[in-house]
């Protein structure tokens, strides 16, 4: 089955052609980082306009690279949430129009679930279930108990900022460019992770939930001034920035690693399926291996860790096969999709 996937949840316009849920024939990603960098974060209106401009050329490129004609596509899959409402609508309406015109089925996919499918696609020979899924991205931080590629239970999530958002905001405080995650990782390489004692939030009686907004604020008050705003000048010497980056990164990942370890014990799982852009972080990968040598990790490959459409097409194949039919034209864009 040839599936064409489309992803427009935030600031990447992506299209991919995937065969039978695993063989990636093309995976085209048009990033908007250049557009949003000068604002230090994603500007939704600009994101939507760029999606509209590039979506058709991106689809054409994905078909060309896959050497497939549009009429040969068996199923269309689209990320229908969670994400920016306007951005989602562009992908969804494109897919609805294509499917309607060609008289083919289409299916809406949960972007967060698809991030976990990226790791399964990277390791097609592994059948890790039951497993703990960890989605660490710019918009989401979630721990899931995974029973199969399409069946999950949410066991924990962030109650405020997502982990990637915390990296991006900390980078902004330090005057580093967007997206901040890779910048913090690079700067932290030279820093002392014990120089500052930052803390993550604890949530009463919710051992698997996360809170990163207090951590971001304590970084702000440490490097600028108590009760200051983002625009205040730094009150620490320039050479201390690397220690801020290292201390922030350590405390954020310590929190995540402790909770994943506890989830693996509680739910008796020995494999962690990782997803989302933050999993590109090499410090996290090394630290997890060091602290949890008994747990096996399935990491997404580099091309599948950030937002992409191959994960949407891949998961689309499984969801459609399991359900036996596609969605109707009533499929809605959803800014949030609760896990059942």
When asked if residue 281 is in the footprint of ligand KG4 (CB under 6 A), the reply is yes
Q: Which of 178, 307, 313, 326 binds Zn ion (CB under 5 A)?
A: 307
HSE value, Cβ hemisphere, 13 Å, CA-based, for 260: 31
Contacts 24+ apart (CB under 8 A), 48-52: 48/84, 48/86, 48/87, 48/90, 50/13, 51/8, 51/13, 51/87, 51/90, 51/91, 52/90
Q: Which is nearer to ligand KG4, 27 or 137 (CB)?
A: 137
> Shortest Cβ distance from residue 125 to ligand KG4 (Å)?
24
> In the complex with ligand KG4, which residue's Cβ is closer, 91 or 139?
139
Within residues 104-163, the interface with Zn ion by CB under 5 A covers: 137
d(CA 241, CA 237): 7
Residue with the shortest CB distance to ligand KG4: 181
Binding status of residue 182 toward ligand KG4 by CB under 6 A: yes
Task: Copy the structure tokens of residue 264.
Answer: 């693996």
Give the DSSP H or E segment for 156.
strand 151-157
Of 86, 111, 37, which Cα lies nearest the Cα of 276?
Answer: 111
Binding-site partner at residue 113 among Zn ion, ligand KG4, none, CB < 5 to 8 Å by type: none
Question: What's the N-to-C CA distance of the chain in angstroms?
Answer: 28
Residues in the chain: 340
Cβ 110 to ligand KG4, closest distance in Å? Answer: 12
* Beta partners for residue 297, in sequence order: 272
User: What distance in Å separates the CA atoms of residue 32 and residue 200, rounded to the nearest whole number?
Assistant: 30
Per CB under 6 A, which region of 47-55, 91-99, 187-195, 277-285 contacts ligand KG4? 277-285
Question: Considering the rule CB under 6 A, would residue 5 count as an interface residue with ligand KG4?
Answer: no
Pick 31 or 217: Cβ nearer Zn ion: 31
Comparing CB distances to ligand KG4, the nearer of 111 and 145 is 111
Q: How far is the CB of 223 from Zn ion (least distance, A)?
A: 28
Task: Single out the residue of 128, 181, 300, 314 in contact with ligand KG4 (rule: CB under 6 A).
Answer: 181
Candidates 31-39, 178-186, 213-221, 231-239 — which segment interacts with ligand KG4 by CB under 6 A?
A: 178-186
Characterise 91 by phi-psi region: left (phi > 0), alpha (psi -120 to 50), beta (else): alpha
Closer by beta carbon to ligand KG4, 26 or else 281: 281
* Residue 253 or 326 having the CB closest to ligand KG4: 253
- Could you tell me if 105 and 328 are in contact, meaning their C-beta atoms sit under 8 angstroms apart? no
Shorter beta-carbon distance to ligand KG4: residue 139 or 316 = 139
Residue 185 binding result from ligand KG4, Zn ion, none, given CB thresholds of 5 to 8 Å by partner type:
ligand KG4
Q: Are 251 and 239 in contact (CB under 8 A)?
A: no
Size of the site for ligand KG4 (CB under 6 A): 19
Q: Which two tokens stand for residue 187?
A: 């700067």
The Cα-based distances of 157 to 65, 101, 162 in angstroms read 37, 39, 9
- 305 binding Zn ion? (CB under 5 A): no
133 binds ligand KG4 (CB under 6 A): no
For residues 248 and 187, is the Cβ–Cβ distance under 8 A? Answer: no
When the beta carbons of 91 and 326 are compared against ligand KG4, the nearer one is 91
Instruction: Note whether 312 binds ligand KG4 by CB under 6 A.
Output: no
Binding region for ligand KG4 (CB under 6 A): 10, 137-139, 164, 167-168, 179-182, 185, 276-278, 280-281, 306-307
Binding region for Zn ion (CB under 5 A): 137, 307
């Amino acid at each position: 089955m040839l599936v064409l996937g489309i992803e427009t949840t935030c600031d990447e316009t992506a299209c991919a052609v995937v065969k039978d849920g695993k063989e990636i024939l093309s995976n085209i990603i048009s990033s908007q980082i250049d557009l949003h960098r000068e604002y230090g974060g994603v500007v939704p209106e600009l994101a939507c306009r760029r999606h509209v401009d590039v979506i058709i050329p991106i689809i054409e490129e994905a078909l060309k690279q896959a050497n497939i004609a549009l009429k040969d596509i068996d199923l269309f899959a689209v990320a229908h949430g969670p994400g920016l409402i306007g951005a989602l609508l562009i992908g969804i309406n494109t897919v609805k129009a294509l499917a309607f015109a060609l008289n083919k089925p289409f299916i809406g996919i949960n972007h967060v679930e698809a991030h976990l499918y990226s790791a399964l696609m990277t390791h097609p020979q592994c059948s890790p279930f039951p497993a703990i899924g960890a989605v660490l991205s710019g918009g989401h931080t979630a721990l899931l108990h995974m029973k199969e590629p399409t069946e999950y239970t949410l066991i924990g999530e962030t109650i405020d900022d997502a982990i990637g958002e915390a990296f991006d905001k900390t980078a902004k405080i330090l005057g580093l460019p967007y997206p901040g995650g890779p910048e913090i990782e690079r700067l932290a390489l030279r820093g002392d992770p014990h120089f500052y004692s930052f803390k993550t939030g604890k949530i009463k009686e919710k051992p698997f939930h996360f809170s990163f907004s207090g951590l971001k604020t304590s970084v702000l008050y440490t490097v600028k001034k108590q009760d200051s705003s983002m625009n205040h000048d730094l009150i620490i010497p320039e050479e201390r920035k690397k220690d801020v980056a290292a201390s922030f990164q350590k405390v954020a990942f310590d929190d995540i690693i402790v909770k994943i370890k506890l989830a693996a014990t509680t739910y008796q799982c020995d494999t962690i399926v990782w997803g989302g852009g933050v999993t590109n972080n090499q410090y996290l990968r090394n630290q997890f291996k060091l602290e949890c040598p008994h747990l096996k990790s399935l990491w997404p490959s580099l091309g599948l860790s950030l937002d992409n459409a191959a994960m949407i097409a891949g998961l689309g194949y499984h969801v459609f096969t399991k359900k036996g039919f596609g969605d109707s034209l009533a499929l809605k864009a959803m800014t949030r999709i609760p896990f059942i």
